[in-house]
Chain A
Amino acid sequence: MKRESFLKQFVTLYLPLVLLLVFILFPFYWIFITSIKPETELYGAITYWPRAITWESYKNLFTTTVNFISAMKNSLIAASLTTVVSLTASTLAAYAFSRYRFKGRRILMAMFLSNNMFPTVLLLIPLYSIMRNLKILYTPWALVLAYTTFTLPFSVWLLNGFMNDLPMTLEEAALVDGCNRRTAFLKIIMPLLGPSLVATGVYIFMTSWNEYTFAVMFTNNASRTIPVALKSLIGQLGVDWGLLTAGGIITIIPVCIMFFFAQKRLVEGLTAGAVKG
């Protein structure tokens, strides 16, 4: 890597980065500020740092009727299970689409793509019946099944795109060297695919983490997830800004920390694969 002058680096890296980050992070900052402002300071002259800080909302989070700890646990279970199930199924399918040519392939691929073109609001009643008949209502599996269905198509296509972008030379070399397909897949493709798997996994996780409509129908008090818990803070008589924003903050932070560790895999992929290859 060549050393760049500070000015050049500033203009091409730091300046645009800071501008984008301000746009991305300001609403988050505003959520945080709102969570520590007393209710009276919300209306009136705008303050960029509260005149009086209160952590009351955070304390209330753990004493109100909305069980945040349990909701976080439920969200985590549903989102993690979905990520595992959906990522596994979509990696297998994407590998088949990317590396094999078989009858019905194009039709299946088109089917996957069209799956998400239909607004879910029209599917709710039959979906509920299906979950009920499968006897998985109110268990995490109802959500896992629903989220897997609606994340699979995108994941398959994403991974298919990533795989098509991967240089095929390494894999072919391995096949020539006498590896069978499965070994080639596990030893060559998987490590190379690391970053893409992380990215797709994050996509699946986020989608399941943030979903409300299925969550409110397929869960009960015991299996409620975060979006439902947050929404129950918005009644006919207004929004409980303090609880809502504090609840938002404590759900955002752990996911960011998780991603902080996951993102290392984003850059490790290629080097690791190249070394093994």
Chain B
Amino acid sequence: MKKMRLAGLLAAAALGVVSFGALTNAESIEPCTLNYVYWADNTDYSALMQEIIAKFNAENEYGIEVVGEEIPWDGGGYNNTLFNTVMGGADIDVATLKLTATPMFVNNDLLEDLNPYVDAWEDKDDISENLYNIMKQAGGSDAMYLMPWNTQILYVYYRPSIFEAAGVEVPKTYDELLTAIEKCTMDTDGDGKTDVYGWGMRGASGGQEPWGSFIYARGGSWDDLSTPEAIQGMQDFIDIYQKGYCPPTATNDGFQEIIANFKSGLTAMTVHHIGSSKGMVEELGDDVGAFIFPAGEGQWTSMGDTENVMFASCENKDAAFEWLKYLAAYDGEKMWCEGTGNIPVSTTVQQGEYFQNDPFMLVSFEGVDVAGILPIKDETTEWITNWPATVSQALVGDITAEECMQQLNAALNP
């Protein structure tokens, strides 16, 4: 009897070692419940996410049950709501997050490093090494706190009909773009007032992304915003506003306004990503096209991103990773990206027919090489918050381009 018991104990210990060694060993996952927090940009996406959750719950082999809790995006208030509840001790295992929001979570040791899980994952090469590196940069160390999910590349939407009326071609260089902006600004009915503006400028929150393209086109960069090149880019931006090449409402125009103005024909061009292409095509049919913000001295466009994170307090981490990878590479990724039109991070999913046939998706792929993100620093969120106020002071002429860029640089690169 004694011997048998000892053998049993040894066997159990051996099993324990094995399951400890390979973190994602399938046998180590017990049936459990995972609390997952996400936001949905509209009710269709919300329904889609619930569908994906239901499918995962029904089909995963471990008896994992994901419980989805939706929190409104609230213009970014989502991040603070999530942060406050997690700091207050909320029982959340997994959540959707953007790169820019990670520092506050990382600095407070709320997130789990995903490296061991990804290393043990057999399909980890389905996601490009470059993306993993971007995730690591955001954390400021070798640890990787985010699991890639989907991205969006910003590009320029334009109205072919207005281009034709103004006699311009799709710009291939930055100078051609500036000319096109000027020429597309037209008084179509001869009453002395501008009816069509060349550029749909985003001056309210979120405007730093398309703005960054102007800075880079003159040879500036995020590393030092006070260089003469960067100031020149800012001056171009101010000129567009002050010379009336964009609607005078630009200082308070956010996403909502730039899209509305573009759809109604008030503006000839504006910058956004593939997320709005469906609505554009519905409204405008053939009369909408896209091109990547052209190169001048330099070239840059903003990559939007959405990832998923695992919280350090999660008790079933292996199970949580099952859900993270389902969203990153398998059915979850396919369903979400096809339903929302976002760019998948999984190369297998990218090869799918759906993505190879969408013209806007192809323009997005074109932009991947020049796409980047704002440097993720402790200062970034504050900088983004203050960007509209600082830039609008320059647009309305309270401060010069140089003063503005010095302020912006001091805030981002102290």
Q: Tell me if chains A and B make direct contact, with any CB pair below 8 A.
A: yes
- B45 sits at the interface (CB 8 A): yes
Decide if A65 touches B50 in the complex (CB within 8 Å).
yes
- Interface bits B229-247 vs A (CB < 8 Å: 1, else 0): 0000000000000000000
- A178 sits at the interface (CB 8 A): no
Q: Which of A102-156 contact B (CB under 8 A)?
A: 124-129, 132
Decide if B85 touches A236 in the complex (CB within 8 Å).
no
Nearest-neighbour CB distance to chain B for A133, whole angstroms, equals 8
- B141 sits at the interface (CB 8 A): no
The stretch among A180-188, A189-197, A225-233 that forms the contact with chain B is: A225-233
- Bound-state CA distance A228–B69 (Å) is 12
- Bound-state CA distance A132–B260 (Å) is 43
Q: How large is the interface on A (under 10, 10 to 19, 20 to 34, 35 or more residues)?
A: 20 to 34
Nearest-neighbour CB distance to chain B for A210, whole angstroms, equals 15
Known: A124-B84, A217-B84. A233 touches B90 (CB 8 A): no
The interface on chain B, measured as residues whose beta carbon lies within 8 A of the other chain's beta carbons, has a size of 34
- Interface bits A30-74 vs B (CB < 8 Å: 1, else 0): 000000000010111000000000000000000011100000000
Decide if B87 touches A125 in the complex (CB within 8 Å).
yes
Decide if A237 touches B255 in the complex (CB within 8 Å).
yes
Decide if A237 touches B263 in the complex (CB within 8 Å).
no
- Bound-state CA distance A234–B283 (Å) is 20
- A77 sits at the interface (CB 8 A): no
> Nearest CB to that of B341 among chain A residues?
A237
- Bound-state CA distance A231–B76 (Å) is 12
The stretch among A15-23, A198-206, A238-246, A258-266 that forms the contact with chain B is: A238-246
Known: A220-B69, A234-B73. A128 touches B84 (CB 8 A): yes
- Bound-state CA distance A236–B39 (Å) is 10
- Bound-state CA distance A125–B88 (Å) is 5
Q: Provide the residues of chain B in CB contact with A66, threshold 8 Å.
A: 43, 46
- B89's partner among A124, A128, A220 (CB-CB below 8 A) is A128
- Bound-state CA distance A22–B276 (Å) is 37
Residues of A that sit less than 8 Å from B by CB: 40, 42-44, 64-66, 124-129, 132, 216-217, 220-221, 228, 231-240, 243
17 contacts between A and B (CB under 8 A): A44-B264, A65-B46, A124-B88, A125-B84, A129-B89, A132-B88, A216-B81, A221-B68, A232-B40, A232-B70, A233-B43, A234-B73, A235-B39, A237-B42, A237-B279, A238-B256, A240-B42
Known: A237-B275, A237-B279. 10 other contacts (CB 8 A): A64-B47, A129-B89, A132-B88, A221-B68, A231-B72, A232-B40, A234-B75, A236-B275, A238-B255, A238-B259
